[in-house]
Structure 1
């Protein structure tokens, strides 16, 4: 029973998940600090007040605090922007730079426009005779 638990803990996905949670928590602290300590004061300098929590609407005996909701929406948009422009965009550029272009082994049939193997001389969909591809090496060579 203990050996099964040990196997479970030492599986790759459990360790990767644990590392992801720790790194994600640390990254959350960085992004929240960036928004709270840098972007909100910048908004405050431009607009005047970065905190809208004082805004509320009295409706009979109830109070709708839409200012807190505005704060949450603005915070979400700022955090999403930071994550997109600081993490996602550079990551996509980096992966595009180091990825190799995928070579497809398919081509389009000129008769029925179905995808067929490059080496095919007859379409498997419409049975039309297809000219062999020129300038391409065959898959068997």
Structure 2
């Protein structure tokens, strides 16, 4: 029972549950936006306010493509809102933090992994780093120069 309680109260699981609930609410919000505002705008070009009535029939089979178009509009609106209000700002924030972190790091001269300035041993290649060890950018390129193309 204790292990189950730890599993349930783990931060990642709680975050995921909150994300699912918020995602469901966001989905209904976008659906409401589509039916309340976007469909009436589309009805300015036609006579119907709802796209659900658009359909065609082939050999007694009814294909309601209007509902699909309505769902497609909802998807595009939701994707745009998530990208411009969540993904893009978070990416910008992560780039800002990466710049701050880069000023506190240097590259290992042996394997070129990014390591803290205060490190005395590289965690990747386990090379001993001294204060006089140049950064990888300061070392000459060990690869031979390419042959000229004739």
TM-score interval, normalised by the smaller of the two chains: 0.5 to 0.7
CA contact (8 A) 1:56 1:65 kept: yes
TM alignment of 1:1-141, pairs within 5 A: 2-45=1-44, 47-48=45-46, 49-100=48-99, 102=102, 105=107, 117=112, 118=136, 120=139, 123=142, 126=143
Q: Distance in 1 between matches of 2:107 and 2:111?
A: 9
Q: 1:41 to 1:58 in 2, by over 3 A?
A: closer
Q: Distance in 2 between matches of 1:36 and 1:94?
A: 34
TM-score scaled by length of structure 2: 0.55
Q: 1:77 to 1:19 in 2, by over 3 A?
A: closer
Higher mean displacement: 56-65 or 32-41: 32-41
Q: Distance in 1 between matches of 2:13 and 2:34?
A: 31
Q: Distance in 2 between matches of 1:84 and 1:32?
A: 17
Matched residue SS, 1:63: strand
Compute the displacement of 1:96 (Å): 3.5
Compute the displacement of 1:50 (Å): 4.8
| Structure 1 residues without counterparts, runs of 5 or longer | 108-114, 129-141
CA contact (8 A) 2:39 2:51 kept: no
Q: 1:29 to 1:61 in 2, by over 3 A?
A: closer
Compute the displacement of 1:24 (Å): 2.3
How many residue pairs end up in the alignment? 116
For residues 4-28 of structure 1, give each alpha carbon's deviation from its aligned partner in whole angstroms, at most 9, with x where no partner exists. 2222222222222222223323333
Compute the displacement of 1:98 (Å): 4.7
